[in-house]
Amino acid sequence: MSIFDEDKNIANITVEGTGDINPSNISKIFSYPFGQYEIKVALTEKNEFVGINEIKVNKSFLDYKNQSIQAGYHDVGQYYPE
């Protein structure tokens, strides 16, 4: 059976509180583009891997490209007017 919700193309993977995988450890969710998928990875405060939070299909090509690329600088100039 597919792990994907057919309607939403989203797989929700629940992190259970066993072993080292403890939801209370999760500090942030890192969005990682992988092929046509976008994988959301849960990390601790020290950037240690906790688990996969969500996998979804990118349907919009440009959105996916924008997710997968980084300009290499924070584009925040508009917030600092002269």
Partner 1 sequence: MFYDEKPEQRLRFGDIIKGYIGITPVINVLDVDVRNCDFNIEVSYPEFFVVLTPCCSIEKKTLIIAPLERVLGSFFLNPYFVKDLTGINKKMTAEQSVSPNIFKSWSSEEREKRVSEEPHFALTEFFVYEKHDLLPEYEINMKDVENIKTKYYMVNFKKTFNIKCDLINKNGDFALKVLQLSLGSRNDLRDKIGSFYSSRPIEDIVEEAVK
Neighbours of 62 (CB within 10 A): 8
Asked if 8 interacts with partner 1 (CB under 8 A), we say no
Stretch that binds partner 1, among 7-15, 18-26, 63-71 (CB under 8 A): 63-71
Contact of 34 with 25, CB cutoff 8 Å? no
Q: Does 60 bind partner 1 (CB under 8 A)?
A: no
- Decide: is 79 part of the binding site for partner 1 (CB under 8 A): yes
SS3 54: strand
Tally Cβ neighbours within 10 Å of residue 61. 9
Q: Does 76 bind partner 1 (CB under 8 A)?
A: yes
Residue 82 touches partner 1, criterion: CB under 8 A: yes
End-to-end CA distance of the chain: 57
Q: Can you tell me which of 1, 18, 46, 69 binds partner 1, judged by CB under 8 A?
A: 69
Residues lying near partner 1 in the complex (CB under 8 A)? 28-32, 62, 65-77, 79-82
